[in-house]
């Protein structure tokens, strides 16, 4: 054997022995072997009705007046997920499974199971499924992402382009990445924060699959939402996901956080009046009595400088950052208060049910009131049934879809609205879904609009 080169020696070794050679079982191989059984392929189906142009249909006379036909089409999508509990609880991305009427989960051994949606959050792009089978499943316990290091090895497992159980490796390229994307349905932009950036390939179909560290611990959920990415991928840190998993499992939704603080733009004139020398910040205009902000010592006239360590320069930025938190989170904020910089800690809570008016202003940018006969007449309505838009915050979801002062709102999510209290309740329910559909009347014409909540 001494005359044989290392390459020739390797070729003479039986294949079965080579596969079992401990020297070839690297940490990456061990991590993949341990985690792969818990990685699933998720396929969804939804039947939708589409309208088609049909100039040569059999009923040609009818088609002359209405040259369109409708037919049902089954739309399908593929993605990945990871089982996080032995009872078949699956963590994945929200955009992988919505909208869907049929969800099928395929395990690494090829077995298929139906699954049901337990809860989903568009704000966090996460969803929880439950496999409908009374057996014990392989699973991965969520690890920790608070000690990640740039440059450390990571492993992505998923089903890119429908190719099951594909593995890619790379390193963490950056932490706390923010990405701004346009929603093609609503045409609004959404900014996602705190992503893990990696050079491990994450393609369509990988979304929802696990990102592992070299020890095989679950540190993130891969997401392929950034279509322009080349040679880079992004993942949601598991510590961020962990905060809302229990809410999705127990409530099927993620409540909105409440600070009880209203902010406005800090103009140069206001900054001069308050003797504030800094370059940026937002002015705290109102602090609700008994709110978390009030208990933390915030006062109207304070200038908010940062939220959770991130600089706040505009009111919209403040609301954007606040969306990243859930009730129970502790938020550290930096203030300019009484001529000096100070740091306060706020313990966020769930929005109280009796704060519907405040919630409507925060999430939609709408201030509403009773629809009187004169306003109904101006909008050429037969009766004063609905609510009146008193004011609209510039740049808010309501403003972006075209709602204006003096409009009437008569329906919200399919429910007839007769008074402000009804509308406030509808907004509170919509806050968990992150959108609300309204029927708005202006000048005798009714418009159906969908508002993406801030």
Catalytic residues: 95, 125, 207
End-to-end CA gap in the chain: 72
Four-point Cα dihedral 427, 428, 434, 439, nearest 10: -20
Q: Can you name the residues that pair with 43 across neighbouring β-strands?
A: 78, 104
Q: What is the rounded CA–CA span in Å between residue 323 and residue 397?
A: 14
**DSSP-assigned states of every residue in 69-98:** EEEEEEEEEEEEEEEEETTTEEEE-HHHHS
Check: CB of residue 403 under 8 Å from CB of residue 387.
Answer: no
b/e string for 57-71 if b means 16 or more Cβ within 10 A? beeeeebeeeeeeee
- Rounded to 5 degrees, φ, ψ at 417 are -110, 125
- Rounded to 5 degrees, φ, ψ at 183 are -80, 115
Q: What is the rounded CA–CA span in Å between residue 448 and residue 228?
A: 32
- Within 10 angstroms of residue 344's Cβ, the number of other Cβ atoms is 17
SS3 421: helix
Check: CB of residue 375 under 8 Å from CB of residue 406.
Answer: yes
DSSP 135: S
**Residue reference for tokens 């992988």:** 96
Q: What is the rounded CA–CA span in Å between residue 433 and residue 430?
A: 5
Spatial neighbors of 234 by CB under 8 A, at least 6 apart, are 177, 179, 195, 196, 197, 198, 202, 222, 223, 225, 226
Q: Which of 256, 263, 156 is nearest to 206 (CA)?
A: 156
Q: What is the rounded CA–CA span in Å between residue 235 and residue 430?
A: 27
Four-point Cα dihedral 282, 288, 307, 427, nearest 10: -100
Q: Which of 232, 192, 235, 193 is nearest to 212 (CA)?
A: 235
Q: What is the rounded CA–CA span in Å between residue 264 and residue 219?
A: 37
Give the CA radius of gyration of the chain. 27
């Amino acid at each position: 054997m001494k005359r044989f080169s290392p390459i020739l020696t390797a070729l003479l070794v039986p294949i079965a022995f080579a596969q079992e050679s401990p020297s070839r079982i690297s940490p990456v191989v061990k991590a993949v072997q341990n985690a792969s059984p818990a990685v699933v392929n998720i396929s969804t189906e939804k039947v939708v009705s589409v309208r088609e142009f049909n100039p040569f249909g059999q009923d040609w006379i009818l088609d002359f007046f209405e040259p369109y036909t409708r037919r049902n089409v089954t739309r399908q999508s593929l993605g990945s997920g990871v089982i996080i509990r032995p009872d078949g609880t699956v963590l994945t991305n929200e955009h992988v499974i919505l909208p869907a009427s049929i969800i099928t989960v395929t395990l690494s051994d090829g077995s298929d199971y139906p699954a049901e949606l337990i809860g989903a959050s568009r704000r966090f792009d996460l969803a929880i499924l439950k496999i409908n089978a009374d057996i014990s499943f392989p699973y991965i316990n969520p690890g920790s992402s608070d000690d990640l290091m740039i440059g450390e090895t990571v492993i992505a497992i998923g089903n890119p382009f429908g190719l099951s159980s594909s593995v890619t490796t790379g390193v963490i390229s950056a932490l706390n990445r923010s990405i701004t994307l346009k929603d093609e349905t609503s045409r609004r932009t959404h900014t996602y924060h705190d992503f893990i950036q990696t050079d491990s390939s994450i393609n369509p179909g990988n979304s929802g699959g696990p990102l592992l560290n070299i020890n095989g611990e679950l540190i993130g959920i891969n997401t392929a939402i950034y279509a322009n990415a080349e040679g880079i991928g992004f993942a949601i840190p598991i510590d961020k996901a962990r905060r809302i998993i229990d809410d999705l499992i127990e409530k099927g939704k993620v409540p909105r956080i409440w600070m009880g603080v209203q902010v406005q733009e800090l103009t140069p004139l206001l900054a001069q009046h308050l003797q504030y020398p800094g370059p940026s910040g937002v002015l705290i205009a109102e602090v609700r009595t008994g709110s978390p902000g009030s208990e933390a010592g915030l006062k109207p006239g304070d200038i908010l400088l940062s939220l959770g360590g991130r600089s706040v320069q505009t009111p919209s930025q403040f609301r954007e950052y606040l969306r990243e938190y859930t009730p129970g989170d502790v938020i550290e904020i930096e203030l300019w208060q009484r001529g000096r910089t100070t740091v306060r800690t706020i313990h966020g809570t769930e929005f109280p049910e009796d704060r519907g008016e405040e919630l409507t202003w925060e999430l939609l940018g709408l201030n509403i009131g009773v629809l009187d006969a004169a306003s109904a007449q101006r909008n050429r309505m037969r009766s004063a049934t609905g609510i009146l838009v008193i004011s609209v915050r510039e740049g808010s979801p309501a403003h972006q879809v075209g709602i204006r002062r003096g409009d009437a709102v008569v329906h919200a999510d399919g429910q007839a609205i007769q008074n402000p209290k009804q509308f406030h309740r509808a907004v509170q329910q919509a806050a968990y879904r992150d959108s609300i559909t309204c029927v708005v009347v202006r000048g005798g014409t009714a418009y159906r609009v969908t508002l993406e909540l801030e």
